[in-house]
Amino acid sequence: MGRGEAGASHALRDPREAEIAAVVEAAGGDAQALIAGLLRLPGLTPEALLGGAFEAQAARILRDMLARGMVAAIAGEAV
Boundaries of every domain in the chain: 2-77
What is the mean pLDDT of the segment spanning 10-17? 88
9 forms bridges with which residues in the sheet? 3
Of the candidates 49, 40, 52, 50, the one whose C-alpha atom is nearest the C-alpha of residue 16 is: 40
Q: Are 14 and 20 in contact (CB under 8 A)?
A: yes
5 forms bridges with which residues in the sheet? none
- Strand boundaries in 8-47, DSSP class E: 9-10
Q: Are 39 and 61 in contact (CB under 8 A)?
A: no
Span 25-58, pLDDT tens digits: 999 989 999 999 999 999 999 999 999 999 999 9
pLDDT (0 to 100) of residue 12: 83
